[in-house]
Amino acid sequence: MTTCPHTAVDTLPAKHGSSGPLFSVDEVKRRARRFLSDPVLPGDRRVRVAHVLRSLDEKGTYQLTGAELEHGLKTAWKNEPRCVRRGTYSMLKQLDWDGFARIDASRATLTAERVVAAFGAFLREATNGGRLKPTIMVFPPDAPNGPRLRIWNDQLIRYAGEARPDGSVLGDPRHVDLTAALRDLGWTEPVGRQTVLPVAFQLGAGPPAWAVLPRADILEVPLRHPDFSWLRELDIVWHALPAISRMVVVVGGLVHPAIFSGWYVASEILENLYRYGVLHQFAERLGMDFRDRFWINRIEPIAFDVIMHSFRSAGVMIEDPRSADGNLRRFVDRETSAGRVLRGDKSKLVLAGATPDMHARAAEFLPPDPNADPGFHYLPDAWKSLSA
């Protein structure tokens, strides 16, 4: 999606999948000293750093101020190596975990009911009736003895997938394992072609829980096009909001669980439809010969046009790859002109259908920093570490 990485990638050490803390107190001190010494932040930085170091000695943790957290979040987005739209980092809207503006989330007490309510609040705020807006919801940071919250789903909205006896998959092949894990937790709803999965999560060292998202909070876009009336018979939709949820944002050594969303680039939905087998259905309806190995090259532009038309007709924000690439190019030019070195993940920044020079520009980036602080980091599958 345009505001953050397309696919969750395990960038944090394996230790992060355990119940213990990610960083030692000494490491948090080092990171806090470096981040909090930034002269951009308000107030006397030497006094602030000294106060934080005392808190770490006494309590094993500390709390960011609102200004520090906001600066950390925007810096993390600006430097995110997988984000094609990070040039718009200044637009980031922070949504506190319980829906109330500017509370001190780091002092809040999480309960399952509040976390579930936060999921709905995030969907409503970020979806915004189709006028999607970059939004982040930051939960209380990890405690000195380990995580306070972990979300299993890589995105809040995901479609279920289950293997059939003949080896085929009903639903989304990517989420067969997650669907099975939710079955183990007690979810019993029958799986159809596009059944929205519940969201599984854990509070501290407690047992996993799951919650069904309110249908009213999930905006889906039916695929329609004036030239292809048969699209109604296929009855295919895709969810409007890509909300990445199996992630943390590290700021000054503090590890905050977070949910982050923007809007789709059309090529991302094209990849999802290919995985689903939808492009094959399109080709069949148009009478294409699958013996011709170039059939996919002919169907992709048609599917791309269907996606763009469907989202725009529904009043839902979406971006074409060339526009997204143009935004990245302007950001890169601005940063390099200022003498700043950029990191980038070419596998995520090079989009299908983008401008011809995108490959060359992406090759100039330094590789991603797995220890970035401030930085967004993606977690391993929680259910796999539990069953290991």
Catalytically active residues are: 83, 86, 263, 268
Angle in degrees, 0-180, between the axes of helices 25-36 and 45-59, rounded to the nearest 10: 170
Distance from C-alpha of 75 to C-alpha of 38, rounded to nearest angstrom: 12
Q: Taking a C-beta distance cutoff of 8 angstroms, is the pair 266, 319 a contact? A: yes
Distance from C-alpha of 252 to C-alpha of 29, rounded to nearest angstrom: 8
Distance from C-alpha of 344 to C-alpha of 258, rounded to nearest angstrom: 22
Please report, for residues 206, 271, 300, the alpha-carbon distance to residue 285 in angstroms, rounded to integers and kept in the order given: 50, 19, 14
Closest alpha carbon to 246 in 114, 318, 139, 351: 139
Q: Taking a C-beta distance cutoff of 8 angstroms, is the pair 158, 276 a contact? A: no
Q: Taking a C-beta distance cutoff of 8 angstroms, is the pair 79, 86 a contact? A: yes
The residues pairing with 155 across neighbouring beta strands, listed in sequence order, are: 244
Element (H, E) at 58: helix 45-59
Which single residue is written with the structure tokens 């590290």? Answer: 250
Distance from C-alpha of 224 to C-alpha of 230, rounded to nearest angstrom: 9
For residue 339, what are the contacts with CB-CB under 8 A and spacing of at least 6? none
Element (H, E) at 350: none
SS3 93: strand
| Burial grade of 209 (CB within 10 A; 0-12, 13-18, 19 or more) | middle
φ, ψ dihedrals at 12, nearest 5°: -90, 155
Which single residue is written with the structure tokens 């969907």? Answer: 123
Q: Taking a C-beta distance cutoff of 8 angstroms, is the pair 238, 222 a contact? A: no
Show the tokens assigned to 79: 């430097």
SS3 237: strand
Q: Taking a C-beta distance cutoff of 8 angstroms, is the pair 247, 201 a contact? A: no
